[in-house]
Amino acid sequence: MNIIYVVIVTYNGMQWIEKCIDSLIHSNIPLNIIIIDNLSTDGTVEFIKQNYPTVEIVETGKNLGFGKANNIGIIQAAKQNADYVFLLNQDAWVGVDTIDELVKIHKQNPEYGILSPIHLNGKGDTLDYKFSLQCNATDCPGYVSDLVTSSLKQVYTINFANAALWLISKECIQKAGAFDPIFPHYGEDFDYVNRIKYHGFKLGIAAALIGFHDREERPYSEKRERIITQLWYLCVLKDIRKSLFVGFVIVCAYWIRFTMQKVAKFKFRSVMHDIGFAFKLIFSIGAIIKSRRRCKLQGAYL
């Protein structure tokens, strides 16, 4: 029987946590559930302890962010010789057979280091918006065409799907390792996808399986979007499939383009933030080089 660990990072997740954990408790296969709590203050930890005594909880005592907190669970699962690790967001949940079917699909397609179901929104009435942006002919070849012609395949290679619903194989973790702690929050999953590709694995979506990610009603935050864009620059510089020089050229080209667009719209405060982040990247080049070298090794950050 496969040993499967589910890792959930929580931070003030009371509005979702019952639905999230219940979807795992009712799974048709046994799962080991580890929750890493980033110092929730809304009663999340107390609720879990009272209602889910079989769920293991690790209280970090501070907000480590997404990647570093997940690493605690990934490392523990690896020590227990887990066959698979399923990363699940606190605001996401799955069907009774989702994880079981993902494992079966992986057994038939071991070249995929990560498999994910189709990401629906919390209501289940449409695709998660950011996931839908990846479902195009360039980033997910064949999916839309096959969907329209009712000829869907079991699995499709996709350029990126966020880590809200990831099944990671043991072999992938052994080679690619865990998340890079250089990322404070956001960007770590994009970087990890680049790394699994470097190590010879693919990222795939299972067309017949669905998961739910309840974030569509989250208010827009210009600050959050700016941080995500800035950390995308870091991901490009960290992409070990390319030389650092090529990454630097790409970052410069995009930075100039986006900055000029903001100047044209008189968004000078945002421009100043971008300039500050540019200097931060320059001063971090030593750490970036060190990180790139480590990520080329097997089992980085385990």
**What is the average pLDDT across 24-31?**
97
Residue 164: what pLDDT? 98
Whole-number Å distance between alpha carbons of 236 and 277: 14
Residue 46: what pLDDT? 97
Kindly give the residue spans of alpha helices, DSSP state H, lying in the chain. 14-25, 44-51, 66-79, 98-108, 129-132, 143-148, 170-176, 188-198, 222-238, 244-264, 268-283, 285-295
Of the pLDDT bands very low, low, confident and very high (cuts 50, 70, 90), residue 157 is: very high
The helix, strand and coil proportions of the chain, stated in percent and rounded to the nearest 5, come to 45, 20, 35
Task: Please provide the average confidence, as pLDDT, over all residues in the chain.
Answer: 95
Residue 226: what pLDDT? 81
Question: 137-151: per-residue pLDDT in tens?
Answer: 999 999 999 999 999
Residue 65: what pLDDT? 94
- The model's pTM: 0.95
**What is the average pLDDT across 75-99?**
98
Tell whether the torsion through CA atoms of 158, 160, 165 and 170 is positive or negative. positive
Provide the token pair at 48.
């879990």
Domains of the chain with CATH codes: 4-213 (3.90.550.10), 222-295 (no CATH)
Buried b (16+ CB within 10 A) or exposed e, 158-192: bebbbbbbbbbbbbbbebbbbbbebbbbbbbbbbb
